[in-house]
Chains A and B, each alone.
Chain A
């Protein structure tokens, strides 16, 4: 026994000396991030951006990329492994596995760090409401990834609209209807609204615009109710159903893959879409680069839409953030300060620029006018070379960007008309955003059967729009939803909501 103890002590001593000797070595931090750039591989060795991050923070990032399409599945299977990466980007902060793992102690409790303005000034700039939204049993386990909320919106081809005789600004829901009806008449093989098998966004946009709540609402008595019970929800569906009836929607929209969504607009098959508004300037740029003769802005982004009574409600597309960065217990207690300092740096001006843009003259370039160069405007060969550098070195490092300090990405690019409009709309739409009151709340029924229940509502909506079922069928599906657990879910949310209000 004594021998064993002395051997162990010697080992410990050796380990201690090793860590002492390596004090100048950077701390290696393993990270799991979603990957969007699939055509070019990430270069981990001699990567100027990782080098720059290491120089600034003393942290060497070791990144595992997982394809975004099935990131959720990969994250769930990763969590089944004992050897977790130190930092994990969780795209869904409310998944049962993440919450259960947090309760079981898989992640460090960051509650005290995010309120420590002295040592972690950038993290402390975060929105306490959102920190509350991602908390588990009142404790914060992650740093949320900021998104502008009013990203959800409508955009349309203004040139086509002019051709069919619609030439005014869309300011009310009636204008939108008029526009959609006009676009529907353009030609027999084209459609007004571009909609695919991902229908949730389109339906949320139009129902919320008509005044329905975002997933869940609070009635005048302060009780939670599901969005489809609001009369405005049906009005929104009727809007789509009407458009479908007059030939404004592809009859086979439910079978169109999301991968073809952009192509439908690019091949002039449909002219209006309800989706993330940033897609409007992306499509605009694609047309400018790929279609001869496009120089003017042809993708018009719709601003606030007034209902008949003049009020405005907007579907925000997200709750102000998209997932979070979790710090797992793979980080040793003595390294916590260093890792948290690193996360704080990521939220500083320098960190935000680094994660979004990289290093000057490697992944971004400055023009003579003091603005960052838009490389998509460069000749093809130069563009390819430069965009390739970005894909290799910066890759999708912006997935680690949290931005809780709300600092802007500097240096800025000179905004095109389309991008400027998007930036302005973000500010203009923000006050009208309708948030989901149940987002931070937990319902056991939702955890147990949520995956089975939610398609009942969404599939019925699609079938109603496509004229397969009538209003009675729609109401039957809602009753089915309620009987199978929807009522229990509503009750659980109500209890949780009232408990949280006190």
Chain B
């Protein structure tokens, strides 16, 4: 028996005991549990019941025949995907985008939150925060349009770099720049919004620690390094684990909006594949199978990184 299980038994008791105690607790705090009901119902109806629809990944699903009436094809769609010679390219594109996202986008809100935290004038800070949240509420369609206007062949940035470097950089029409543009747009749009959770964590830092450090002669950077960062470390780890869960998610709308014949090769990711098969081709089963595969990988990544966090002595997700 593992130590964890022993611990659990010590707290909850064994089998029957456990259920009896739970029953007593429910009876005692019935109104509290009553408050839990709407949430529970929501999860059952909207999250758990639809999960049974996943069986269409193993069927040749035709909407007219329904989930129960469609032909069972087993692993056909999974085979189909791996027989497609370019599937590795799709995986590669997905992973490159995801890694770039983690390396370049993930730290951005942390850095910004730390900068905001150092601001002295409270009113100015609040105003600045409000402005930083705005891009999050702008639709990605608008963001892409703005990018086209600025970085497109007649845009100001395009012209400026052309004059500065003597040759043009085709920002919108090359697979090499495609990923940087995507990451850039993501940083522009989501960094401000991402600071919220870190700023919340920062408010929990005991101000007495700073005072003590100041008395000891610690400068700004020292305080940042020895007090602020350790204080939000667990939040950072938590966010990183959650990010791992969406490692294979690149979204498709952003990529499809940015793709054109010149840069399409970099835009082909698993999510785009699911969109092409599911919505454009109407192959719901095929798309579900790829989606299911992605989900399994995601769950594995979350569990794995949580485990690593535990090993490193962090609290992790749970």
Interface residues in chain A, defined as those with a beta carbon under 8 Å from any beta carbon in chain B: 72-73, 75-77, 79-82, 84, 95-98, 100-101, 103-106, 197, 199, 251-252, 254-255, 329, 447-452, 455, 458-459, 462-463, 466, 468, 483-485
Contacts and interface: CB of A to CB of B under 8 A. Distances in A.
B264 A255 contact: no
A484 B86 contact: yes
B172 interface: yes
B64 A101 contact: yes
Contacts of A84: 64
B62 A255 contact: no
B208 interface: no
Contacts of B64: 79, 82, 84, 101, 104-106, 329
Given A106-B64, A459-B261, A251 B153 contact: yes
A197 B261 contact: yes
Contacts of B268: 452
B85 A483 contact: yes
A254 B276 contact: no
Contacts of B86: 449, 452, 484
Given A255-B262, A448-B80, 12 more contacts: A79-B64, A82-B66, A98-B282, A104-B69, A197-B260, A197-B261, A447-B283, A450-B281, A452-B84, A458-B261, A463-B262, A485-B84
Contact of B84 (A73, A98, A447, A449): A449
* Best-surrounded residue of A197, A254, A329 (most CB of chain B within 10 A): A254
A255 B172 contact: yes
Contacts of B282: 75-76, 79, 95-98, 100
B281 to A, nearest CB: 5
A72 B275 CA distance: 13
Contacts of B173: 252, 254-255
B163 interface: no
Nearest to A73: B279
Interface of B: 60, 62-66, 69-70, 80, 84-86, 148, 152-154, 172-173, 260-262, 264-265, 268, 273, 276-284, 286
Contacts of B152: 252, 255
B281 A255 contact: no
B169 to A, nearest CB: 13
Contacts of B278: 76
Can you list the 4 inter-chain pairs with the closest CB atoms, starting with the nearest? A97-B282, A106-B64, A252-B153, A104-B62
A450 B80 CA distance: 13
A410 B117 CA distance: 75
A255 B153 contact: yes
A199 B261 CA distance: 9
Contacts of A251: 153
Given A255-B262, A459-B265, A462-B261, A451 B62 contact: no
23 contacts: A72-B280, A76-B279, A76-B282, A77-B279, A79-B282, A82-B63, A97-B281, A106-B64, A197-B260, A199-B261, A251-B153, A252-B153, A254-B173, A255-B153, A255-B173, A447-B281, A449-B84, A449-B86, A468-B262, A483-B85, A484-B84, A484-B85, A485-B84
A80 B261 contact: no
A485 B63 CA distance: 28
Nearest to B86: A484
A197 B257 CA distance: 13
* Best-surrounded residue of B64, B148, B268, B280 (most CB of chain A within 10 A): B64
A79 B262 CA distance: 33
* Best-surrounded residue of A84, A97, A106, A449 (most CB of chain B within 10 A): A449
B260 A451 contact: no
A97 B283 contact: yes
A144 B264 CA distance: 34
Contact of B281 (A95, A104, A254, A462): A95
Contacts of B153: 251-252, 255
A451 B277 contact: yes
- Report whether over half of chain B's contact residues are helix, strand or loop; otherwise say mixed: loop
Contacts of B60: 100
Contacts of B172: 255
Contacts of A449: 84, 86
Contacts of A105: 64-65
Contacts of B273: 452
A255 to B, nearest CB: 5
A98 B260 CA distance: 28
A75 B280 CA distance: 10
Contacts of A468: 262
B27 to A, nearest CB: 41
B264 A101 contact: no
A79 B279 CA distance: 11
A452 B80 CA distance: 13
A369 B81 CA distance: 64
A96 B261 contact: no
A500 to B, nearest CB: 23
A101 B61 CA distance: 9
Given A79-B63, A485-B84, A448 B286 contact: yes
B144 to A, nearest CB: 11
A255 B148 CA distance: 9
A452 B172 CA distance: 21
Contacts of A82: 63-64, 66
Nearest to A78: B63
A463 B263 CA distance: 10
Nearest to A80: B63
Contacts of A255: 148, 152-153, 172-173, 260, 262
B279 A80 contact: no
A356 to B, nearest CB: 30
Contacts of A447: 281, 283
A221 to B, nearest CB: 28
B262 A80 contact: no
Given A100-B62, A448-B286, A254 B261 contact: yes
Nearest to B66: A82
A96 B62 contact: no
Contacts of A450: 281
Given A252-B153, A462-B262, A485-B85, A451 B276 contact: yes
Contact of B280 (A81, A98, A199, A451): A451
B63 A101 contact: yes
A485 B62 CA distance: 25
A452 B265 CA distance: 10
A148 to B, nearest CB: 27
Contacts of B261: 197, 199, 254, 455, 458-459, 462-463
Nearest to A328: B64
A82 B172 CA distance: 42
Contacts of B70: 104
A252 B151 CA distance: 12
* Best-surrounded residue of A75, A82, A84, A104 (most CB of chain B within 10 A): A104
Contacts of B279: 73, 76-77
Contacts of B62: 100-101, 103-104, 106
